[in-house]
Structure 1
Amino acid sequence: MRQALLLLAATLPLPALAQAPAAGAEPPASAASAQPSEAERLVFTHDHLANSRRPGSLRYGYVEEAEGKPRVTDRAVLTFSAPQGGACCDVHGDYLSGPMAVNLPDIPQARGNPVLLYFLEGEVRRLQRTTTGQAAHFRRRIRQSLADTATVSDTTIPWGTQSVPARMVRVVPFVDDPFRARFQDQAATEYVFVLSDAVPGGVYQMRATLPGKATRTLTLAESN
């Protein structure tokens, strides 16, 4: 079932967006009043896992490069399982390590790829740690910018020995934020999502870039 009914419910944490609403539930007013944008559909409501609905795992490599700091590498692993007597798949995430780790509840019967939620929640928590802004505000701005200002373009990506088609979503959520004075040095951060039904899990790469200062990239490495 599609997750769009919860998409713009700004008071909910990002993990809630990965779960489908109960059958027959009424959508929130914000979701009912407008159709999701193309960027919203690609990031939050597309069935990324259509080609991965079996027990197994997806592994992503993380790289962080910041001006004047050592390069940081880490990994994220999504594990897919079928509950006894149930359909696949419930998804458990092990996302990064140490202070960068993000722990979220397992997601039953996932359709969208939860790695997007882990990445975004990691960014929200990092912003809250390093600025005077609040997590709820950052979540709301990211959602709203995907609805209003994100751009979508066609691209290709390398996968195996081939070049396969993909869609690229780009968004700069805080550049016009009326509260940007609270996090001025982070306000130019751009987020890029590279999505393709030709790769396992439908999500190839996510990237956060603060021009001239830092880049954080999570890229699909392998599946089994």
Structure 2
Amino acid sequence: MRTHPPLRAGLGVLAACLLMPLGAEAADGPASPPQDYSDAERIIFMTEHLGALQPPQTLAYRFRKHGSLEEDFEDRVTLRLSPTASGACCNGEADFLSDARRLRLPAVEDARANPVILYFLEHDVRDMNRLTKGQQNHFRKRIRMAIYQGARVEQRALEYLGRPISAQQVVISPYEDDPNRGRFEQYADKHYVFWLSNEVPGGVFGVASRMNARDAGAEPLMVEEMYLEGATPPDLTALAR
């Protein structure tokens, strides 16, 4: 029997959609028996990324958007971690981007997995809704299903604060086989990458998404990248067609 991963109260619809048990929800067809978590789910949502931290503590991430579709910009994401009532780590609250771009999201209480991943994905879901006029819950479900049954997981050598580290890389393509992709074909070739490592504070090295242009070799439509301060960004060209 599947149980909820140790990420409690927080991001409402997004968290409920991404973290609820799969089974009857796992497909658009008839209900199926509950199944175990995938490796990708365990890496992203069930690992206690914050377990080694001593609150209070602040984690800073660099955010960059670029591509041919919209204006480029660089900004920051700040995650403030405070002790729970028991003194353990952590309650989390974030400033996700700034000024007019700021995404207002609730705090996550008694978080074990790093909530910055959920913040990034909620930003992404709302952006997909803005670009396509599609339903936010549809994009949430596609991301969730891709992490559950379509993810590619491998080890990667990365660099943090100038030294080599080992990380787990998870790549998903939620809209590759989406039955509704014809409604937003321009954006359907979208890939997401998550880099997780116990050798960096908070366990999350970075998260990125990339939408390729239709013409091979052309500048991507949009790339959004968020990396922990001190992380050397990996090469994303492997996600190009």
- TM-score (ref. length: structure 1): 0.85
SS state at 1:169 partner: strand
Structure 2 unmatched ranges of 5 or more = 26-32, 213-219, 231-241
CA contact (8 A) 1:5 1:28 kept: no
What whole-Å deviation, never above 9, does each CA across 1:138-186 have from its counterpart, x for those lacking one? 0011001111111001001111231010000000001110111221111
Query: How far off its partner does 1:87 sit?
Result: 2.9
| Amino acid of the structure 2 residue aligned with 1:210 | M
Which residue pairs with 2:35 in the alignment? 34
> In structure 2, how many angstroms separate the alpha carbons of the residues matched to 1:214 and 1:191?
12
Which residue pairs with 1:89 in the alignment? 90
SS state at 1:63 partner: strand
Q: Structure 1 residue aligned with 2:227, among 201, 219, 224?
A: 219
> In structure 1, how many angstroms separate the alpha carbons of the residues matched to 2:165 and 2:141?
33
Q: 1:128 to 1:18 in 2, by over 3 A?
A: closer
| Amino acid of the structure 1 residue aligned with 2:40 | A
Does residue 177 of the first structure (1) align with residue 185 of the second (2)?
no
CA contact (8 A) 2:209 2:224 kept: yes
Does residue 105 of the first structure (1) align with residue 93 of the second (2)?
no
CA contact (8 A) 1:4 1:36 kept: no
Query: How far off its partner does 1:16 sit?
Result: 4.4
| Amino acid of the structure 1 residue aligned with 2:154 | S
Query: How far off its partner does 1:100 sit?
Result: 3.4
Query: How far off its partner does 1:15 sit?
Result: 3.5
Which residue pairs with 1:23 in the alignment? none
What whole-Å deviation, never above 9, does each CA across 1:121-153 have from its counterpart, x for those lacking one? 000000001103100010011001111111001
> In structure 1, how many angstroms separate the alpha carbons of the residues matched to 2:55 and 2:6?
26
CA contact (8 A) 1:63 1:217 kept: yes
CA contact (8 A) 1:83 1:90 kept: yes
Which residue pairs with 2:202 in the alignment? 201
> What is the number of equivalent residue pairs in this alignment?
211
CA contact (8 A) 1:59 1:75 kept: yes
After the TM superposition, which residues 1-40 of structure 1 pair with which residues of structure 2 at under 5 Å, given as runs? 3-4=4-5, 13-16=13-16, 28=21, 30=23, 33-40=34-41
Which residue pairs with 2:81 in the alignment? 80
Query: How far off its partner does 1:86 sit?
Result: 3.9
CA contact (8 A) 2:17 2:144 kept: no
> In structure 2, how many angstroms separate the alpha carbons of the residues matched to 1:134 and 1:74?
27
CA contact (8 A) 1:18 1:111 kept: no
> In structure 1, how many angstroms separate the alpha carbons of the residues matched to 2:185 and 2:199?
38
Which residue pairs with 1:163 in the alignment? 164
> In structure 2, how many angstroms separate the alpha carbons of the residues matched to 1:77 and 1:88?
17
What whole-Å deviation, never above 9, does each CA across 1:71-128 have from its counterpart, x for those lacking one? 3001000001125664332111110124532222111111010100000000000000
Which residue pairs with 2:236 in the alignment? none
| Amino acid of the structure 2 residue aligned with 1:122 | H
Query: How far off its partner does 1:18 sit?
Result: 9.2
Q: 1:55 to 1:18 in 2, by over 3 A?
A: farther
Query: How far off its partner does 1:70 sit?
Result: 4.3
Q: 1:63 to 1:42 in 2, by over 3 A?
A: same
The alignment-based identity, stated in percent, is 34
What whole-Å deviation, never above 9, does each CA across 1:1-50 have from its counterpart, x for those lacking one? x84389xxxxx61244799xxxxxxx857398111111111111111112
Q: Which moved more, 1:46-55 or 1:201-210?
A: 46-55
Structure 1 unmatched ranges of 5 or more = 7-11, 20-26
Q: 1:109 to 1:140 in 2, by over 3 A?
A: same
